[in-house]
Chain A
Amino acid sequence: MAILVLAEHVDGRLDETTHKAVMAARFLGRDIHVLVMACETHSETLSQQAASIEGVTRVWSAAAPHLETQLTEDMAAQAQAILERGGYRYALMSSSYKGKRVMPYLAALRNTDLAPDITKIENEDTFVRPVYAGSLQVVERLKSAVKLLSVRASAFPPAGLQAQAAPIETLAPLPPTLAARRLEHRGKSTLRPKLSRARIVIGCGLGVEKKEMPNIEKLADKLGAAIGVTRAVVDEGMATSDYLLGQTGKIIAPELYIAVGISGAVQHLAGVKDSKVIVAVNKDPNAPIFQIADYGVVGDVGEVIPALIELL
C-alpha cells in the first residue's frame, strides 16, 4: 500500500516542506508517491526534483496552465482522482497555508476526517498534535481506510537526496474547476532568509522601539538571520502579519531563536518553543520568556543589541 505526498512549490522550485512531508511519510511506509501539480513551464523540473528526494518511489506529474494558480479545488480534485485509483493507505502534505486549505477540502471530498498539523506519528493510525498554544497535546486515532494527514513542517527534518531518481509518470490533468480566479499574487521581496527556513531567527516584541529596528536588522544581517514579530507588534502596525510568529502565525523551530523585547505570552511561545536554543533579551527580569530561555540577558535592548553587533 502506497503513501501519496502532495508537493508544494514556488517560482519553479520545490518547497522544502515537500522534503519534510516525505520524511514524515517514511515513518509510515516504504512506497512513497509524490504528486506534482504545476504549469507546463515548471512541471518537468519540479517532477525531477521530487523524483530525487530520498525515499520517493514514484512521481505523478500533472501539468496544465490552470494548475499554476494552485487553487484549493483543483489541487484537491486532482489528488482525489489518484486516491480513487486505489492502492493508497495515506495522503499527506505539510500544514502550510496551502496544506491548511487543501487537506481539509480533500478530506471532505472523501467524506472522512483528517489528522491535521501533526508533530508525531505514534503508530500506523495514531497521531499527535499540539493544542492550546502548545501547552497540551492531543493524541488522535483515524479509522478511515485512506488516512489523511497534514504534518507540521518544523517537527520533521527534510528528507535528503537519492542517487537513483524515481520514475516520473505523466497524469492527465483534470479540467479546471473554475471555482475562483487569481487576479494577482505577490511574494515578499527580502534579502533575508525565509522565516520557515532560517537557521537563526530574531523575534521582536513591543520592547523593541521603532528606533532600534535598524540595529535589529544589522544584527540579523550579521547572523544571516530572519526576523519575526509578536502579535502586539503587528497590531501596532509596525509589521505585517507575514512576519507573525505564534499560535495564529508561523510556527518555527530554528537552531537559535533570539527573543528581543518579548515578554513571552503563551500565544507567542506556541510558535517558537521548539527552537533548539532560545536566547531572551528583556529589561524586565520577571518576564515569563526567561522561564523557557536557555540563555537570558536582562538589559536594555538599546544597549544589548549594539553590543552584540560589536562582538559578532
Chain B
Amino acid sequence: MKILVPIKRVIDPSFKVRLKPDHSGLDMAYMKMVMNPYDEVALETALQLKEQGVATQVLTVSCGTDDCVETLRTTLAMGADETLFVETRYAMSPLVVARLLKAVAVREACGMVLIGRQGMGNDGNQVGPMLAALLGWPCLPFAETLTVEGTNVRTRCKTDHGSEVLEAALPALVIVEIGLAAPRYLSMPNLMKAKKKKIPGVAVETLGVDMGMDVTVVQLRSSPERSRGVMLPDAATLVERLRTDTRII
C-alpha cells in the first residue's frame, strides 16, 4: 500500500508575523519557513507504518511555488520514498488544494492519506475533511493513535467531550493530531543523500483540476491588541481589585 502525505510549507510558528508597512500582505523579511508541524507528524506516522510492514511506499506531495521543493527535500531526508511537486502560481483555496490532492491520490493509486489537522498560521482545518469527501473515503478525524489490522485502520480520535475509537476499511483518510507520533531527527548522511535527489514536478494543468474558487481574501489586518494592565504587590490586593473592579468573584 502506498501512503500519501500532503506537505505544507508554513512560517515557523515560533516567529511573530507582521504586516508590511502598506498592509498589502505579510512581511516575509527575516521569516523562517518550515514544514508544517502537523505534516511532520503525519509523515513520521507513515514512515512508522512502512517500518511495520503495513505500507510499502510513502509519497509526499506539495502544491505551490518553487519554494516547496526545499520542504519536499526534507521529507526525503526523513525517509519518504517518493515526492511530487505540483507546481502552480495560482492562488489556491483549501478546496482547490483538496482537488489537486485527490488527483494525485487517484493517479498514484494510494491506499491511505495521512494529513495534518491544520496548517499552522492559517489554522483553517479544512483540506483533510474536504479531501475525504472528494475521494469518497472514510474520514477518521483528529487521530491520536493509529493501528492498521489487515484491511482496516483503527484510530482513537479526539472529540469535543473526550475521545472515540473509529474503525474503517481502507482506503481511508486519517487527519493527524500533533500527539500521534514524535518526528525523527534528520541525520547528516540522509540530508546529504536527499540533496542529490531530483524532485519531480508536475504542472498543475496536467492534473485536469478545476482551479475555480468561491472565496477571496478581502483584507489581512492586525488584530486589536490587549493593553497592558496594572501590576499588583500581592494576593490580597489582587482579590480586593477583582472584587471591587470586576465583581466576577
**A91-134 Cβ-contact flags toward B at 8 Å (1 or 0):** 00001111011111111110111111100000000100011111
Query: Which of B58-66, B75-83, B188-196, B209-217 lies at the interface?
Result: B209-217
Whole-angstrom distance between the Cβ of A113 and the nearest chain B Cβ: 4
Query: Chain B residues near A296 (CB, 8 Å)?
Result: 229-232
Contact with B along A257-281 (1 / 0, CB 8 A): 0000000001100000100111100
A82 within 8 Å of B by Cβ? no
Query: Interface readout for B132-172 with A: 1 if CB under 8 Å, 0 if not?
Result: 11100111111010000000001000111111111110001
Contact status A140-B217, CB under 8 Å: yes
Instruction: Name B165's contact: one of A109, A141, A182 (CB within 8 Å).
Output: A182
Q: Answer whether A135 and B222 are a contact pair too, CB < 8 Å, given A114-B126, A290-B228, A296-B232.
A: yes
Q: Across the interface, which residues of A come within 8 angstroms of B29, CB to CB?
A: none
Q: Are B162 and A136 in contact (CB under 8 A)?
A: no
- In-complex Cβ contact of B217 among A108, A139, A199, A299 (8 A): A139
On chain A, the residues within 8 Å of B161 by CB distance are 10, 187-188
Q: In this assembly, does B88 line the interface, its C-beta being within 8 Å of a C-beta of chain A?
A: no
Q: Measured between C-beta atoms, what is the minimum distance from A237 to chain B in Å?
A: 10
Which one of A108, A136, A144, A223 lies within 8 Å of B130 (CB-CB)?
Answer: A108
Interface size class of A (residues with CB under 8 A): 35 or more
Which residues from chain A contact B165 at a C-beta distance below 8 Å?
182-185
Q: Which of B17-71 contact A (CB under 8 A)?
A: 17, 19, 26
Chain B residue contacts of A307, Cβ below 8 A: 234-236
Contact A181/B167 with A96-B160, A292-B228 known, Cβ cut-off 8 Å:
yes
- List the B side residues contacting A139 at CB < 8 Å: 217-221
**In contact, B129 and A101 (Cβ under 8 angstroms):** yes
**Contact between chains at B215 and A104 (CB < 8 Å):** no
**Bound: A186/B144 CA distance, A:** 14
Say whether B219 contacts A295, CB under 8 Å.
Answer: no
CB-contact partner of B124 in A17, A101, A117, A188, under 8 A? A117
Q: Which of B160, B163, B178, B216 lies in contact with A186, CB distance below 8 A?
A: B163
Closest partner residue, chain B, to A194 (CB atom)? B161
Q: Dominant SS at the B interface?
A: mixed
- Give chain B residues whose Cβ lies under 8 Å from the Cβ of A180: 138-140, 166-168, 172
Q: Which of A104, A116, A138, A308 has the most CB of B within 10 A?
A: A104
Q: Is B93 an interface residue (CB 8 A)?
A: yes
Q: When the two chains form their complex, are residues A279 and B121 in contact, meaning their CB atoms are under 8 A apart?
A: no
The answer to the question of B239 belonging to the interface, with a C-beta cut-off of 8 Å to chain A, is: yes
How far does the alpha carbon of A185 sit from the alpha carbon of B166 in the complex, in Å? 9
Given A98-B160, A132-B121, A311-B239, the answer on whether A138 and B216 have CB atoms closer than 8 Å is no
Contact A105 B132 (CB under 8 A): yes
**Cα separation A10 to B164 with both chains bound (whole Å):** 13
Query: Which A residues touch B222, using CB under 8 A?
Result: 135-137
B246 proximity list for chain A (CB < 8 A): 255-256, 276-277
Query: 1/0 contact trace for A278-295 toward B, CB 8 Å?
Result: 110000010000111111
Q: How far is the CB of B30 from chain A (nearest CB, A)?
A: 15
- Whether, in the assembled complex, A40 has its beta carbon less than 8 Å from a beta carbon of chain B, the answer is no
Complex CA–CA separation, A183 to B220 (angstroms): 43
CB pair A294–B223 under 8 Å, yes or no, is no
A181-B168, A248-B178, A290-B228 known; A136 vs B221 contact (CB < 8 Å):
yes
Task: Assess the A101–B133 pair: CB atoms within 8 A.
Answer: no
What residues of chain B have their CB less than 8 Å away from a CB belonging to chain A? Answer: 11, 13, 16-17, 19, 26, 93-95, 98, 118, 120-134, 137-142, 144, 154, 158-168, 172, 175, 177-179, 213-223, 225-226, 228-236, 238-239, 241-242, 246, 248-249
Given contacts A101-B175, A179-B138, A308-B235, 5 further A-B contacts (CB under 8 A): A116-B125, A132-B121, A185-B159, A248-B178, A307-B235
Q: Show 27 A/B contacts (Cβ-Cβ < 8 Å), sorted by A.
A: A72-B132, A72-B139, A95-B125, A97-B141, A100-B141, A102-B129, A104-B126, A106-B133, A108-B95, A108-B130, A111-B95, A133-B123, A138-B219, A140-B215, A141-B218, A181-B168, A184-B164, A185-B159, A186-B162, A196-B160, A241-B177, A242-B163, A296-B229, A296-B231, A298-B231, A307-B236, A311-B236
